[in-house]
Structures are given as structure tokens and as C-alpha cells.
Structure 1
Amino acid sequence: MARIAVIGAGMGALTAAARLAVAGHRVAVYERTDTYGGALRRFERDGFSFDTGPALLPLPAVYRDLFVKTGKEPLESCVELVQVDPSSRHVFADGTEVSLPNASRAGVVAALDDGLGADAGKRWGDFLVRAREAWDRTRRPLLEEPLWPDWQVLAEREPYPSVPHKRLLRTRRAGTLAEIGAWELRDPRLAALLESHALGYGLDPRIAPASAAVLPYMEHAFGTWYVRGGLRELARAVYDRCLARRVEFRFGAEVTGVLEKDGRASGVELADGSAAEADFVVAGVAPGTLARLTAGTVVRGEGEVPSQPAAAARLTVLLALRGSRPEGTAHRTVVHTPDREAELEALFGTAPGNRRPTVTVLRPDDPRPAPADHEAVTLTTAVPARPGRPHGELVDDMITAAERAVPGLRDRLLWHEARTPADNADETGAEDGAVPVPALAAAGGRLLHPSNSTRLPGLFTVGGWAHPGGGLPHAGMSGALVAGLIVEGPEFRGSQ
């Protein structure tokens, strides 16, 4: 039985802790804040409650596997999972609207044909077939296996099978999401639908590799799920599973350094001056924090995937509305920007932050987040991960955009609360509140993440800033990979 110190209580760290504990190890988690869950936090006021991080769960099989492997109670015995249908409603700049059914290719094709015109559904359906091929080619190395030592192979090969496109006497193939939208989808509304998946992770579709097609494919193939009571309930369930496996938690315990002895990690040093010895250390922290904790030690070396900063953060606006949620309201509505270029330049260029943003409106069919005859609504948009950015005017822009999805919104508004990137930075430790992106192939490796093992023996990294990157499924898989590397050693090759 090894002693294992886990730094941080984010979802990747919690999944690693549960799996290591069930393997017979003595696990202690040190979290600098007063609670668990990382970005899966909850804001409560006047009887309203809101998720302040991710609010929907793709690929729930990752967490089903966790619960199967760590105890007798399956995930569905610990939380109530509901498949969201429609998966999403889209309000486009030209006023057209379309609602897409959950996990139904035929249904999506029919809805797009009805909403956007004949042949729109076929073009999107054909795109999903190609996206599936990219998924099949990258699923194992980017989600289920430790990062390959020859990761450059993933960096150089574009797995998305683009359609040849004749352009100025040359045959071209789409290498970015924007080119897929322009050359293969050939409709600005379908392009906006595609690019909204990239923007949700802070990716610039103009340079995001075509392999990012796997993001909408995951949602299409595995569905979109909601946890009754909010996604914070998933964090609570995983935390409870850790407690049941006798994981020890110390909240308000800030780790200030990783201890070394005889050339390997040997424990952690805490802000109160105490130290905790360990045979392994698992760090679920952002790259800048890891660098401070290991000052003077080479953790990453030449030839390894460098730590990549996220391109964007999230601004979240919580709305308390009088009046009940109307029957038949879509859980998620995406209101697309009327000025794509201005939005992208504001996000990824040097333009001022005021813009008419793409806004996601979340209205769960769940009585728990609001008092009777009231509704809790959450708005999110991507913003630059830069310090000192004012967000006051953008909050009002988001509410204005949301009125296209929620008629009479301002007349129903009791109060609103903005959650900025600075709040995310305080809660997660991510510099400027940046959001890590999922690992993606191609693009020269700039969207891969550092391996879970490090050059300091006994030190491993977990969570969104390590392989396989950001997103709830990816965080859960990072915990599985770290547990496998510790239990089975370097020969571990991932789930079968």
C-alpha cells in the first residue's frame, strides 16, 4: 500500500483518488479552497441555485465506468441523469431557428432540412460521417491511452478526411473548422453551428484544426445529458464515492511545494509549515501553479509537449426570473452573433471587448434550482483570458442577446449576478481564469497537453491542464490514466 498525496480536488483529481483508493492505496487530498469539484461550483441566492461551471455532460460513459470500477452502486444510483431533448436550439443571425434532437442523425438531418432548407441536413449528416472517422482515428490515443512518447505523430497527421475542394485551379482540403464550414457545409448558418462548438472551448475556428470536428460528433453520437439538481451533484457523487473508499480530505490546506528525496517526489509541503510524506504525488493544478510547486526541478523537458495556454475564458451571467419556465422550452439555446468577424477579432485579436457575442442560454427543466413559479437561467459566452478586462457592458450585451431566446426577459428579471474569469481563477487557480481545451490532433501539437507522467519520478499530473485536456469526460479519463500509471507502472497502455 502506497501513500499518495493529491494536490487539488478538481474532477480529474477526485477520479484519480477514488480509483487509487479502491486499488488499496492510502490517499489524501489537499485542497486550498473549502470545497471539492474544481470548476463544478454552485452559486446560491434567495432560493435560486446555479451551476457556475459546466452545466451539461457529454460522454457520461466515463463516469459510469468510474462508478463501476470503484463500488457496487452505479452512477445512476447516485445521481439522476436526464438526456436533454432537444439537444440544442439555435437562433441564427438571419432570424432562422432550428431545434436539433438528441443523438439522432436522421432527426438532425430532418430538422436542418426543415429549418434551413433542402440539402442542409444532408451536408451536415455527411460531415458527421467524416467527423466519426476522425473520432475513430483519435479516440484511443487522445482519450484512453497515456500520451505517446512519439506524440509528434499525432501533431503532424490530420485525422479528419476532408473533401477535395477545387479553388483557383488547385485542389484544396479543409485544414481548419472555418474551411470545413466554408467549403463543405457551404451555409453560414451551418458554419455557425459548427463553430459554436469550438467557441465553447475558447478555440478560434479560423485556426482550430479540422480534427476539432470530433467536438460536435461527441455530442451527436453520445448525447447531451443533464444531472438533476445541476452538475454540482456529479461532483458531490464523486466526492461521496471517494469518502466511501476512505480517501482523506483536507480543505483549506494550500500546498506550497512538492518535496523531493533521492531524486523522486516524496510528499508535499503546506502553507502552515507542515509536511506530508508520500510515495507518489498527483498534481491537479494549472501549469503555472505546478511550476511554482516544483521550483528548481525539471518537470517537463525538451522534446515533450509544452504547456499550452488556453485561448479564452468564460463569462457567466446568472439570471433570477419571476414566472415559471414555459412548457416545451429548450434546455439549451445558442443565440449566434450577427457579426462573426467582430466576435472573433474581439476574442482572439486586439479589438475592444464590446461586441455582440454568441451566447448560450441554459433553462433546465428542473424545479430544484428556483423557488416555485420562478426560473433560474444561465448565460455563458467566451471572453479573452486577459487580466483586467472590463465585463460590465458585455453582461448587458449578453442579456440583450438572450432576449431573442427568452421573450420578455427584462420584464421578468429580478436580479442578475456575473461570474467573471477572475472568479474562475480564484476557484480553480487557472491563470486569468483560462479554460483548458480538449486535446486535439494535428495543428503541430499546439492543442495537445503534457503527459500525465513527469520527469520527476513519483510526480504525476491530472485534470484539464494535463493529457487529455479540458472537458468533463477528459478530466475523468485523466484520473483513470494516472491511476493506471501508478498501479501498473510505465507499461500501462490504457483501458481496453
Structure 2
Amino acid sequence: MARIAVIGAGMGAMAAAARLAVAGHRVTVYERADTHGGAVRRFARDGFAFDTGPGLLHLPAVWRDFFVKTGREPLERCVDLVPVDPAGRHVFADGTAVTLPNASRAGVVSALDGALGAGAGERWGGFLVRARDAWDRSRRPLLEEPLPPDASPLASDPYPAARSGLLRRPARTLADVGRRELRDPRLAALLGSHALAYGFDPATAPASAAVLPYLEQTFGSWYARGGIRALADAVHQRCLARRVEFVLGAEVTGLRIEDGRAAGVELADGSTAGADHVVAGAPVPALYRDRVIPWHSPDEWPHHQSAVRTGRMTVCLALRGTREADAAHRTVVHSPDPAGESAALAAGRLCDRPTVVVLRPDDERLRPGGHEAVTVTATVPATVTIGPGSRSPEDRWGGGGARVEAFADRMAAAAEAAVPGLRERLLWREVRTPEDTFRETGTREVPGPALAGAGGALLPAANVSPVPGVYFAGGWSHPGGGLAHSGMSGALAAGLIVEGADFRGSR
């Protein structure tokens, strides 16, 4: 039985902790905050509650596997998980709207034809065939296996070229796919919204990001009653049931190194804890920035999706009155200026009107009787520019003030397309920025799932760290961010410790 120290209590870290405990190891989790869950948080006030991290779950099989492997118990016995149907409503810049069913390709094709005109569904369906090809080519190395020492084959984009007359013209970015293959600005916006939801700019995201809508429309969208925070609570309870020890309010400030490998962790209070292995579940950039992991040159930092420069802004709306019976759980209200939105993200500034995702769960656990809790999110620069050419630390979100509130106003105004009478129903609102994400997780950026292509820039850190005895788990490590990917990251890190160098991933 080995001693395992886990840094952080995020979803990937807890997934690794429970699996390692089941394998017979003694596992202790050190978390600097006063709660578990990492970025999967909840904001509560006056009887209202809001998810401030992910609001929906895709690819639930990952967490089904976790609960079976750590307790022979189905996920649905631990979490009240329900499919979201319809999967979502999209409101486009020209006022056109379409409601898409959950996990039904034929239904999606029919809905798009009906709302956008004959042929729209066929073009989308053809795109999904090519997206499936990219998924099949990259699924195992990107999701189910440890990242190989030579990841250069994953630098090539697996998305196949579409035929254009007698020529095959490869699309370099997701925006190229929208223009060349979908040939309708509304379909292009639908495609781009899937990338934006994960923090990727469609103008720069590789064409392989096509796997994101494919994944959602194939495996469906799911909601946990009580909010996605309920999933984090269930994972935490599973860890406790497997005798994982949690030490909250315990900040890890360094590693103990003996004979060239990790031998434990150093804590902010000056104490140390010995360990045979360390699982680092905190964000990889923060671990190196704060010198928790020793380094002499930035060249020693592992690759960790350094191209990600976006975060999430969330507006929690407490509304008087109940939602309409036929209200969609999720509505995406698209920006009237996608090019301007992309340019603003690239420049590190706030755009005039972003694409927003409006979540309206019909869940009595999240609001007082007769009222409604609504969450509105937008992808924004992780660091914003206040003055011309300025991007200094004091210009970060914490000093945004009126500018942040004005942007929240624009987000709420966009959300009125999804919530009738929003302005008149508003009781109060809470605005959360990347600065809140930094306070809770140690980084302002929100990592996305690993994507092939883009020269490898969107591959996260490998699960085996440069320091012997240290393993990475969580959204900044392979296979990347998002609820499902973080769960897979924990499984890979645990497998590498339990089975060693012979571990080849799930079978």
C-alpha cells in the first residue's frame, strides 16, 4: 500500500483519489479552499442557487464508469441525472430560431430544414459524418490512452477535407468549415457556438473542433437535479466512502524531493506530509507559476494548452415568477457580429454583444417557490485591456468596475431573447468574472478539451510530469478540460500509478 498525496480537490483529482483508494492505497487530498469541486462551484443567496461552473454534462459514460469502478453502483443511484430534451434552442442574429432535440441526428436534420430552409439539415448532417471521421481517428489517443512521449502525430488535424467540385480543400479552422461546408451564417454560428462554449475562438480553433458538436449530438446533454454541483458532491462522497482523507484549507506550496523524485508535499503552515506518489490536480500553469513544482527555466514547464487565453463570465439572475411550461433548458443567443466577437477575444477586450448561453433549469431545488434561477454565461478574454495598448496586472478583471457591469448589462439584454420579461422580473443579480475563477482555482483561464491539429497547441500536459513520482490530473492535463475529460484524466493518472509504465489506457 502506497501513500498518495493529492494536490487539490477538483473533479479530476477526486476521480484519481477514489480509484487509487479502491486499489488499496492510502490517499490524502490537500485543498487550499474550504470546499471540494474545483471549478464546479455553486453560488447561493436568498434561497436561489446557481451553478457557476459547467451547467450540463456530456458523455456521462465517464462518470458511470467511475461510480461502477469505485463502488459497483450506477451513477443514477448517486445523482438524479436526467436527459435535457430539447437539447437546446438557438436564436440567431436575424431573429431566426431553431429548437434541436437531444441525441437525435434525424431530429436535428429535420429541425434545421424546417427553421433554416430545405438543405440546411442535409449540409449539417454531411458535416457530422466528417466530424465522426475526425472523432474515430482521434478518440483513443486523445481520450483513452496516456499522451505518448512523442505527441507530434496529434499535431495534424484529423478532420477530413470536404469535396468541392473535383478538389478536396482542407479547412484549417472551424470558421473555415462553417464558411465552406455549411454555407449559411446561421449554421456557421451554430457550429461556432460549440467551440465558444469550451473557450475556443472559432476563428482560430482547428477544424478538429468539429468533434465537439458531434460528441454532444451523439451522446446527448444531461442535467443533474440540484445542479451539476450535485455531481461534485456525489464524487466527494464516494471518495469519503473509500476512506480518502480530505484536508481543507491546506495550501500546498512545494514538493519534497528526495533522491531525484517526489517524496511528499510542503504546506503553507510549514508542515510536510510524506508520500510515495503525488497527484497534482491543481491547474498546471499555477503549479509552475507559484513554484509548487521546482523549475529553473520556463523551458522546463510542460506543455499545457498555452494557447488558451479565454475565461468565463457568468451572470446569475434571480427572477420573480415561474418559467413558462415550454421554456427550453438551454438557449444560445448568438452574437450579431461573430467576426467582431472573435476580434475582441484575440485583442483581449470585451465585445459589444457576445454570444450568451442561457440556462433555465426547471428545478425546484434551485429557487424559492414561485421564482426562477437563470444563469447567463459568455466566453471572454481571461485578461482584459482597459487602456490603449495596456495589459498590465492592474488591468485585470478585479479593477473592471463599471465596465464589467456594463458588459453584464449587455449579456442580460441578450438573454431577454430567451427569457420573456426578464428586465421586469429581475430581483437581483450576481456577476462573476475570471477574477472569481482565479480566486477559486488559481487561474483565470478555463481549459478546454484536448484537440488534435493546430500544431499541437491545444494538447494539455501529459499525465506523467517531468518530476518523477508526480502525476497530473484535472482540466489542464490530458485529455483536457470539461467534466467528462477531467474524469478521464483522473482515471489515466490513477492507472499510471497502479499499473506503471505498462499502462496503456482503458480497454
TM-score tier after normalising by the smaller chain length: over 0.9
Task: Give the deviation of 1:354 after TM superposition.
Answer: 4.3
Task: Give the deviation of 1:343 after TM superposition.
Answer: 1.0
Counterparts of 2:305 and 2:325 in 1: how far apart (Å)? 46
Correspondence 1:233 to 2:230: yes
Unaligned runs of 5+ in 1: none
Report the equivalent of 2:336.
338
Percent identity over the alignment? 65
Correspondence 1:53 to 2:66: no
Tell me the amino acid that sits aligned with residue 346 of structure 2.
F
Correspondence 1:106 to 2:106: yes
Tell me the amino acid that sits aligned with residue 452 of structure 2.
A
Alpha-carbon contact 1:287-1:307 (below 8 Å) kept: no
Deviates more, 1:386-395 or 1:96-105: 386-395
Correspondence 1:451 to 2:462: yes
Tell me the amino acid that sits aligned with residue 408 of structure 2.
V
Alpha-carbon contact 2:124-2:187 (below 8 Å) kept: yes
Report the equivalent of 1:411.
424
Tell me the amino acid that sits aligned with residue 349 of structure 1.
A
Counterparts of 2:213 and 2:351 in 1: how far apart (Å)? 28
Task: Give the deviation of 1:225 after TM superposition.
Answer: 0.2
Report the equivalent of 2:321.
323
Alpha-carbon contact 1:176-1:207 (below 8 Å) kept: yes
The 1:297/1:3 distance shift into structure 2, 3 A limit, reads farther
The 1:247/1:326 distance shift into structure 2, 3 A limit, reads same
Task: Give the deviation of 1:341 after TM superposition.
Answer: 1.4
Correspondence 1:211 to 2:224: no
SS at 2:257's partner residue? strand
Report the equivalent of 1:90.
90
Alpha-carbon contact 1:159-1:211 (below 8 Å) kept: yes
Task: Give the deviation of 1:72 after TM superposition.
Answer: 2.9
Task: Give the deviation of 1:288 after TM superposition.
Answer: 3.0
SS at 2:123's partner residue? helix
Report the equivalent of 1:264.
261
Task: State how many pairs are aligned.
Answer: 489
**Alignment equivalent of 2:434, drawn from 421, 429, 432:** 421
Alpha-carbon contact 2:450-2:458 (below 8 Å) kept: yes
Counterparts of 1:400 and 1:214 in 2: how far apart (Å)? 31
Report the equivalent of 1:10.
10
The 5-angstrom pairing of residues 139-150 of structure 1 reads 139-150=139-150
Task: Give the deviation of 1:274 after TM superposition.
Answer: 0.5
SS at 1:49's partner residue? strand
Task: Give the deviation of 1:295 after TM superposition.
Answer: 2.3
The 1:102/1:7 distance shift into structure 2, 3 A limit, reads same
Report the equivalent of 2:41.
41
Counterparts of 1:290 and 1:94 in 2: how far apart (Å)? 45
Report the equivalent of 1:165.
164
**Alignment equivalent of 1:488, drawn from 496, 499, 504:** 499
Task: Give the deviation of 1:307 after TM superposition.
Answer: 5.1
Task: Give the deviation of 1:306 after TM superposition.
Answer: 5.3
Alpha-carbon contact 1:299-1:456 (below 8 Å) kept: no
Correspondence 1:468 to 2:468: no
**Alignment equivalent of 1:369, drawn from 366, 371, 376:** 366
Deviates more, 1:94-103 or 1:126-135: 126-135
Alpha-carbon contact 1:319-1:377 (below 8 Å) kept: yes
SS at 1:19's partner residue? helix
**Any idea what the Cα deviations from partners look like across 1:333-373, whole Å, max 9, x if unmatched?**
000011111111111125x4241110100001211101111
SS at 1:265's partner residue? strand
Counterparts of 1:146 and 1:437 in 2: how far apart (Å)? 17
SS at 2:311's partner residue? strand
Alpha-carbon contact 1:143-1:477 (below 8 Å) kept: yes
TM-score (norm 1): 0.96
Unaligned runs of 5+ in 2: 384-394
SS at 1:293's partner residue? coil
SS at 2:365's partner residue? coil
Task: Give the deviation of 1:300 after TM superposition.
Answer: 7.4
**Any idea what the Cα deviations from partners look like across 1:245-296, whole Å, max 9, x if unmatched?**
0000000000010110011100000011100000000101123322111224
**Alignment equivalent of 1:384, drawn from 381, 401, 409:** 381
The 1:120/1:296 distance shift into structure 2, 3 A limit, reads closer
Report the equivalent of 2:133.
133
Alpha-carbon contact 1:283-1:459 (below 8 Å) kept: yes
Task: Give the deviation of 1:149 after TM superposition.
Answer: 1.7
SS at 1:401's partner residue? helix
Give the 4+ runs in structure 1 shifted more than 3 A: 296-302, 304-307
Counterparts of 1:365 and 1:219 in 2: how far apart (Å)? 21
Task: Give the deviation of 1:203 after TM superposition.
Answer: 1.1
Tell me the amino acid that sits aligned with residue 218 of structure 2.
A
The 1:263/1:307 distance shift into structure 2, 3 A limit, reads farther
Counterparts of 1:388 and 1:275 in 2: how far apart (Å)? 34
Alpha-carbon contact 1:309-1:436 (below 8 Å) kept: no
Tell me the amino acid that sits aligned with residue 286 of structure 2.
T
Alpha-carbon contact 1:48-1:376 (below 8 Å) kept: yes
The 1:309/1:258 distance shift into structure 2, 3 A limit, reads farther
Deviates more, 1:197-206 or 1:35-44: 197-206
Deviates more, 1:191-200 or 1:288-297: 288-297
**Alignment equivalent of 1:360, drawn from 357, 362, 371:** 357
**Any idea what the Cα deviations from partners look like across 1:117-140, whole Å, max 9, x if unmatched?**
000001001111111111111111
Report the equivalent of 2:389.
none
Correspondence 1:294 to 2:302: no
The 1:468/1:300 distance shift into structure 2, 3 A limit, reads farther
TM-score (norm 2): 0.94
Task: Give the deviation of 1:59 after TM superposition.
Answer: 0.2
Correspondence 1:76 to 2:91: no
Report the equivalent of 1:441.
452
Report the equivalent of 1:477.
488
